Structure 1
Amino acid sequence: MKPSASLLFYCLIFTVLVSACGGDAAEMERLQKENAALKAQVQELTATQSEKKLKYILKIRLKQANFSLSIKKHIKNAINAVDFELPVDKDFYDSVSEGTEIVDKFRFGSFVLYGSFGDWEMTVKDKQIRGI
Structure 2
Amino acid sequence: MKKLAFFLVISIFALSSCGGNKEELDQLRQENAALKKQLQTLQAEGFAKSPKYILKIRLKQSHFSLSIKKHIKDAVNAVDFEIPVDKDFYNSVSEGTEIVDNFRFGSMVLYGSFGDWEMTVKKKYIKEQ
Into which bin does the TM-score normalised by the smaller protein fall? 0.5 to 0.7
Q: Which entry has the higher C-alpha Rg, 1 or 2?
A: 1
In 2: Cα distance, 1:103 partner to 1:82 partner: 14
Letter in 2 for 1:58: L
1:103 aligned to 77, 100, 105, which one?
Answer: 100
Q: Structure 1 residue 63: deviation in Å? A: 0.1
The answer to whether 1:130 aligns with 2:105 is no
Paired residues, number: 84
Q: How does 1:20-39 map to 2 (within 5 A)?
A: none
2:113 aligned to 113, 116, 126, which one?
Answer: 116
Q: Structure 1 residue 65: deviation in Å? A: 0.5
1:69 aligned to 66, 69, 79, which one?
Answer: 66
Letter in 1 for 2:53: Y
In 1: Cα distance, 2:123 partner to 2:82 partner: 9
In 1: Cα distance, 2:127 partner to 2:82 partner: 12
Q: Structure 1 residue 53: deviation in Å? A: 0.5
Normalising by structure 2, what TM-score? 0.62
Q: Structure 1 residue 49: deviation in Å? A: 5.1
Q: Percent identity?
A: 79
Stretches of structure 2 that go unaligned for 5 or more consecutive residues are: 1-44
Partner SS for 2:120: strand
Stretches of structure 1 that go unaligned for 5 or more consecutive residues are: 1-47
In 2: Cα distance, 1:65 partner to 1:86 partner: 22
Give 4+ residue runs of structure 1 displaced > 6 Å after superposition. Answer: none
